[in-house]
Structure 1
């Protein structure tokens, strides 16, 4: 029964026991009882008559007492929302900030990660990692080429567009340039995952992935030669060799009748363009000509 009906029946003394309990539970019941009690102290006028409920309600104009609802949940939800928003903003601004390191043409740089792991970045390469979250997730993204000397600890992931290299603590080199992907292990053991294939490399092992073809092999080096200012290649397509030459010397190479798919084994230095051009052109029976300070033409020998 609604509040209005309860009061009407109370005024007419017609409440059942169940309705009386409901009436007593109303918040403004004491107010109505006080009104009736005070009214009984006055003698009614001979012209007065018992008002009906509507007249009584208009005369006393009882203040409307709002029904108290369980509103405690709303403030708690608001507080929780503010806290969640604050945590989200904090994570985005402070915990999810990526540290990025880039190298320019003919530039190399060495960086130290939060766990003292060392990364040597080759020319025109880029790495990014979350320094704030490093203890929980040792992961670094790579575009280009880098040599890693990883401190022992939790697993360490190098993520590229062609595959992921996972280690615990070791030395290895990763190169990812376009369709070319290469990993060489110099210390410890590394796991390389490309598409649905997984390879385990030990000291002296290397892996090449080029245009969908995966080849594993061996090397005898103790560290990548490019860290000593010399790029070395073992049965690598000429296109990749010349691209590396352009990166190391900031030059543009034009070709005339050169088969860029033939394989090259050899090396070139990073501090003398003439010597580097000779080291590449002679084994391939090519001729070179420096036509501008930053442009070189390579052509097949007649």
Structure 2
């Protein structure tokens, strides 16, 4: 699913549970938004109501909110209204989405001069308006954050949230694997089941929905920014996925790789050398055909 369709799919109730949860965390930030410039609250409500009552091509309503019967229902409806007004009516208040394509790194300077470097195959979204008050981003993939001190900064993703004030850390979030590694400062990592506070040199890993903390090697973490990747007993399937992202290739294997574990290193400067460093120690042969690699 494309991240820039999250809002539309959320309104259509087509999001999987984990993305629905992340989306509703976004809604919490928009509950107190004012009506758009040049419109009264009544005008905004009327325009929103017309959009709500629009029917999709299959003759099903996009959203059919019933009249609230309890206070919490009204609060939920208000949150939805605020979000839709925010997205559809507020000029200059849109969600900005940045993607790092396969084989590329992308560095973004946020409105407060915080720096974020996205690893290949990573997507990050944020709202620029009122940034100094509401500093938060949504991330899928891997990124290194160097946050300018100020109000609380949040990173939100599938089943996790990271809170910081001013610090630097690496965040890996792919295929339900979460790892947050703190280089400077203090970071709080939480999910539905657990919460941990990390200091410099500590990292949190998500295992069976529980957060575990451990020390990590600062010299071998987040080195992807210079093209170097280190692995310590990681499933070979994850290493293959990283090779595919970094070199924009497709690796096909004639045998399962998820039960093999790899400890080693590769660099993005040379594809053949990287393939040799990964597969030869595992006793595997490979051949190349254009942008495809066949592993035997």
TM range (shorter): 0.5 to 0.7
**Counterpart residue number, 2:96:** 99
For residues 199 and 262 of structure 1, do their structure 2 counterparts lie closer, same or farther at Cα, with a shift above 3 Å needed?
farther
Residue equivalent to 2:250: 252
Partner of 1:285: 283
Listed one character per residue, the Cα deviations across residues 203-245 of structure 1 (whole Å, up to 9, x for unaligned) are 1112222554644322222561100111222232211111011
Q: Distance in 2 between matches of 1:146 and 1:112?
A: 13
Partner of 1:81: 42
Higher relative contact order (CA 8 A, sep 6+): 2
- The equivalent position to 2:135 in structure 1, one of 135, 138, 154, is 138
Deviations 1:82-121 (A, max 9, x none): 48779x5798323641111111110111010011100001
8 Å CA contact 1:152, 1:170 repeated in 2: yes
| Structure 1 residue aligned with 2:230 | 232
- Contact 1:179/1:211 (8 A) holds in 2: no
CA contact (8 A) 1:112 1:118 kept: yes
What TM-score results when the alignment is normalised by the length of structure 1? 0.67
Cα deviation digits, residues 173-218 of structure 1 (max 9, x gap) = 1111122111111111111102220111111112222554644322
Question: Would the alpha carbon gap of residues 217 and 83 (structure 1) be closer, same or farther in structure 2, given more than 3 Å must change?
Answer: closer
After TM superposition, the structure 1 stretch with the greater mean CA deviation from structure 2, 132-141 or 276-285, is 276-285
Structure 1 gap ranges (5+): 1-77
Contact 2:235 2:257 in 1 (8 A): no
Aligned to 2:156: 159
For this pair of structures, how many residues does the alignment match?
A: 221
Question: How well do the aligned residues superpose, as a CA RMSD in angstroms?
Answer: 2.6
Q: 2: CA distance between counterparts of 1:206 and 1:81?
A: 49
Query: What is the SS of the residue equivalent to 2:91?
Result: helix
CA distance in 1, matches of 2:110, 2:154: 13
Gaps (5+ residues) in structure 2? 1-38, 48-84
- Counterpart CA distance in 1 for 2:214 and 2:86 is 48
Counterpart Cα distance in 2 of 1:258 and 1:244 = 16
CA distance in 2, matches of 1:238, 1:213: 23
Contact 1:151 1:169 in 2 (8 A): yes
